Amino acid sequence: MFDSLQRTFTNILEDTVAEAIAVPEEMRGKIPTDYGRSKGIAWYFLGGFGLVHGSDQTQSRIIKWASAA
- Sketch the domain layout of the chain as residue ranges: 16-56
pLDDT of residue 56: 65
**Per-residue pLDDT tens digits of the chain, which is 69 residues long:** 455 555 555 555 566 778 899 999 999 999 988 888 899 999 999 999 877 766 666 666 667 677 766
Instruction: From 39, 19, 15, select the one nearest 29 (Cα to Cα).
Output: 39
Q: Are residues 62 and 53 in contact, defined by beta-carbon separation less than 8 angstroms?
A: no
Q: Are residues 16 and 51 in contact, defined by beta-carbon separation less than 8 angstroms?
A: yes
pLDDT of residue 51: 76
pLDDT of residue 8: 52
51 vs 60: CA distance, rounded Å: 10
pLDDT of residue 50: 79
Query: How many CA atoms lie less than 13 Å away from 69 in the CB half-sphere?
Result: 0
